[in-house]
Amino acid sequence: MAKAKQEPKEIQLGLEEVLCHFHELEDPREPINIQHPLVGVVVIAIMGILAGASGPTSIAEWAALRPDLLTKLLSLPNGIPRKDVFRRVLSALKPDVFQTCFANWLNSMYSRVEEVTDQTRPIFAVDGKTLRRSHDQSRGLGPLHSVTVWASDFGITLAQVATEEKSNEITAIPQVLKLVNLAGAIITIDAMGTQTEIAQQIVDGGADYVLALKGNQGTLHQGVIDYVNLQLDDDFAGTNARKFETAETGHGRKEKRLYVQMSAPQDLPGFDRWAGMLTIGIAMLTCIRDGKETYDIRYFISSLRMGVKQFARAVRSHWGIENSCHWTLDMTYREDESRVRGLYMRENLAWLNRFTLSLLKQHKNKQSVAMNRRRCGWNDQALLEILTAPTT
């Protein structure tokens, strides 16, 4: 008689490592109405989004097609939850509490990935993203704008805080930084987050910063421009500037980048207001495409000591949150097309998108995020491998 095929032990052990992170999550539902364990509902939601789902209805549709898999792996005494269960749970869970449950999982993943890399100072990019169609005028609800901390070297979302207005990003950045262990990291932020209080918080957290400058820091921005222009007259011979150049060809264009770092002059406007500021820098991009040349220059202040390659790495890594995180969420997850408008649900789904993106980016097969997400939808074993064993 043929023996029944047994589930691989490593899969079961890995899944237990997943489930343990949600046992302390408080169930927001009334006890009298509970038919499906909260842990099971949350894990099915994660698996459904990994497999291509985008909301309660598609999560439930995917789950309904996987009864054998889900009842084998999870405690589901009343069968597979329907879409109303996912809608109620994702609408009732407070986003900050929900996110906290992922903290240990993310920290475990981050520590595991960090061990196999040679990066001594991780880059944490902080940036905001708006879900343009998540507004609800009838309820006075503006589009969801979330601020994310992205570990650029590893492709892992470490934290997220949501607001209803992009202008609130200045208040959201200090909140999201409090959710992350900053010690030893280099924090990069766009010009909107270039604030003296944020710089102080980063330094107090044992990290360094590289902050972009634009017109919102009028006198400081102009002061840096004037100082750089003065040094350009003799090609930086009059200061202790360090330079680093890169050249790349691809996607029908040629790009040259010149990074210049120099000590920050103490007569810059407001110099004493910026905690730990030691250097300033510029990133100059020259791009040739279809025979046309374009030119861009960006200015930065930093608490980093002189070391132009590290400065260049920080500047370039910051773009990763746009290319590897936000662009992927829009193109692969179609997040910007989402019409989910519940106050808590849209934030919880935005977090699940970022969390599952982190899982997908860790898998060892080096397939694209889009292909790995398809594989999760096509094959249960591939789904379990990505869910339970993220590796680099």
What confidence score (pLDDT) does residue 114 get? 62
Q: Give the mean model confidence (pLDDT) for residues 280-290.
A: 91
- Residue 167: pLDDT over 60: no
User: Which 3-state string (H, E, C) describes 332-384?
Assistant: CCCHHHCCCCCHHHHHHHHHHHHHHHHHHHHCCCCCCHHHHHHHHHHCHHHHH
Q: Residue 322 has what DSSP assignment?
A: I
Lowest mean pLDDT among 36-40, 174-178, 295-299, 331-335: 331-335
| pTM across the whole model | 0.82
- Residue 307: pLDDT over 50: yes
- Reported as a single tens digit per residue, the pLDDT across 293-304 is 898 999 999 999
What confidence score (pLDDT) does residue 100 get? 80
Are the CB atoms for 230 and 209 separated by under 8 Å?
Answer: no
Question: pLDDT grade, residue 69 (50/70/90)?
Answer: very high
Q: Which residue has the higher pLDDT, 293 or 278?
A: 278
Q: How far is CA 55 from CA 15, 60, 74, 358, 369, in A?
A: 23, 9, 21, 18, 19
Q: How many residues comprise the chain?
A: 392
Question: pLDDT grade, residue 2 (50/70/90)?
Answer: very low
- Residue 243: pLDDT over 70: yes
